[in-house]
Amino acid sequence: MIRKTINEIIDMIPVLNDVSPFGETRITGVSIDTRKIKKGNLFIPFKGEKVDGHKFVESAIENGAVAALWQKDAPNPPEGIPLLIVDDCLEALQELARSYRSQIGVKVVGVTGSNGKTTTKDMAASLLSTKYKVQKTEGNYNNHLGLPLTVLNLDEDTEMAVLEMGMSSRGEISFLTRLARPEAVIITNIGESHLLDLGSREGIAEAKLEILEGLQEGGIAVLNGDEPLLMERVSGIGAGIHLQTFGRGESNDMYPVEITQSTHGNEFRVNLSDERFYLPVLGTHNIMNAMAAMLVARHFSLSFEEMAEGLKSVRLTQMRMELSEGLNGEKIINDAYNASPTSMSAAIELVANLGGYTKKILVLGDMLELGPLEKEYHHKIGEMLDPGKINLVFTYGKLGSLIAEGARKVLGRERVYAFEEKEKLSKELKKHTNSDTLVLVKASRGMKLEEVVAFLQKEESH
């Protein structure tokens, strides 16, 4: 993490007051949350809609912070505390991260996409860790606030940083990539997330392609070559950028030539190597994410043998194709972190094609931020189900009920349950599970369907 004296900090960001009395004070890391302050931190307060962080500056110092930023328009700065007065605290944080990134020798991999960016980030970090010291975005620190904090948390001797870049509107990826200045970028795919804000998949593609704006000369852009919306927009990509594609089609630079699915992961081969790769992650769609990470690893001189070792040890962020067991012995795939029509279809396809179970149950909830076609998207998910491969469907939420409507057309009414309350859903679901059952739980983050998973795993009180 960043370790600088206050005198060094004022060379990195514009500070409006005289800090010479405490200029030799050394800060170790930054924090925006007084509950997570560590000794030596620089505390950065923000003015929120409901809470003004400036009110907590004194308690941050009491908890171990050695200095704090202070926005110039915030009233009543406390005396006797090392304060760095700035025009805007958020802009100061971002500029500090930009400057710090310039000072350390790290190489950056930027990852974006409608689906799979967190999984791909985890895979890329696992691969690169076989050869380099690697840090990556933790949790959902992938926006205009989270990414600067991630950069400032990098150690000076970190060799590779894998940074996730999220967005909800135009210009956000542009800002993040210009700050991070990656040597490699990945766009996993173009889905339907953020249609509400961007209006069309074309708009989403253009917003994701902003990641190229920060790509350094001689860098590599790894794109999903099966996506025409991406490929038609990069036909004139700059001569200083190395373009590589992945996908199912044989026109891609990397594509799978053999895939074997199991309950615990996938074994596969690709066209560029005779090596057999084992990926301890469910879903053939995750092989696409793995290939994107592999192309980046290849750019940074990893052998396919090293990649095979890296893939074996992949550990995904929680609630992404996470396999666990319920009290009745049922196997549960918890993919409740997020959902879009593309990712939900892929998860359903996985469950439908996995062998070894006599009963397969889907627990599906609302997919959010889909714009004016949201009802149609939910109906289609229900209508796409194969009655020969899916036994029961449970839905949660108002939009989820539209999935149920579509599912009843193909499965019949008696095999589809729609709920507005999670507890009622969970209790009914539990009646239908045993050791031969596979349950998929998937919805957008706001639906918190992991609560259903927890219910299946806990003893009922009597």
- Which domains, ranges and CATH numbers included, belong to the chain? 3-89 (3.40.1390.10), 104-312 (3.40.1190.10), 322-457 (3.90.190.20)
The one-letter code for the residue type at 337 is: Y
Q: What are phi and psi of 134, to 5 degrees?
A: -125, 140
In percent, how much of the chain has pLDDT > 90?
Answer: 74
In this prediction, the residues of the chain whose per-residue pLDDT falls under 50 are 462
The Cα 46–Cα 68 span in angstroms is 11
* pTM (global) more than 0.75: yes
The Cα 183–Cα 217 span in angstroms is 8
Rg for the chain, CA atoms, rounded: 24
User: Residue 235: what pLDDT?
Assistant: 76
Q: What number of CA atoms fall less than 13 Å from residue 7's CA on the CB side?
A: 6
| Residue 459: DSSP 8-state | P
User: Residue 47: what pLDDT?
Assistant: 85
The mean of the pLDDT values for the chain is: 92
User: Residue 323: what pLDDT?
Assistant: 85
The Cα 445–Cα 397 span in angstroms is 13
User: Residue 168: what pLDDT?
Assistant: 76
Strand 277-279 with 392-396, pairing = unpaired
Residue 242 CA, chain-centre distance (Å), reads 24
The Cα 248–Cα 289 span in angstroms is 11
Contact 184, 106 (CB under 8 A): no
Q: Where are the alpha helices (DSSP H) in 104-209?
A: 117-128, 146-152, 172-180, 195-198, 201-208
User: Residue 462: what pLDDT?
Assistant: 47
The Cα 85–Cα 72 span in angstroms is 6
User: Residue 339: what pLDDT?
Assistant: 87
